[in-house]
Amino acid sequence: MDEIDEKLLALLAENARLPVATLARRLGLARSTVQARIDRLEAKGVIAGYALRLGDGAARDTIRATVLLTLEPRATAAVVSRLRSMRQVEAAHTASGRFDLVVTLAARSTAELDDTLDRIGEIGGVRGSESLIHLSTKIDRQG
C-alpha cells in the first residue's frame, strides 16, 4: 500500500458509496486507475467489504455492553460457537491479561441485555464475567 491507497481508503471510510469518478477526481487520478486500485485492495483482502452504518436514529434504541469473560482452559472454541448463535453478540475478541474474551453486545432493552448476560453466564466453559454497559460514545472511528 502506498500513500494514494491510504487516501483512497480514507475517502471510502468516510463514504463507501462515493462513485469511482468522484474518487478519481478527489485523488487526481484516472477513473480506471482508481478502479484498478480498488480491485487490487479487494483482492488482497485490505477491503473486506462494504457495510451499512446506522445513524443515531437507529442506535438510539440500542443498549450496548462490553462483556469480559474468563474461560476454562481449552473452552474458547466451544464458547465462541455458542456466542456466534446469539444475535445480540456483535463481536468477540480473544484478549491477553485477566480476561480471555472481550464480547460486544447490542440489545433492544435492559431486559434483553439481562437475558443475554444470563445466557452467556450459563455457557459451559465460562468461568466468570464482568459487564460494562456503554453510556455514551465520545469517539467512534469505526463508524
Residue 134: per-residue pLDDT: 94
Sequence-separated contacts (24+) of 11-17 with Cβ below 8 Å? 12/38, 12/47, 12/50, 13/143, 16/50, 16/51
Instruction: Evaluate whether 61 touches 107 at the Cβ level (below 8 Å).
Output: no
The domains located in the chain, with CATH, are 3-43 (1.10.10.10), 56-133 (3.30.70.920)
Residue 52: per-residue pLDDT: 73
Output the pTM of the full model. Answer: 0.66
pLDDT by 10s per residue, the chain, length 143: 899 999 999 999 888 999 999 999 999 999 999 999 999 999 999 999 887 776 666 656 789 999 999 999 999 999 999 999 999 999 999 999 999 999 999 999 999 999 999 999 999 999 999 999 999 888 887 75
**What sections of the chain are H helices per DSSP?**
3-14, 20-27, 31-43, 56-59, 76-84, 110-121
Residue 96: per-residue pLDDT: 94
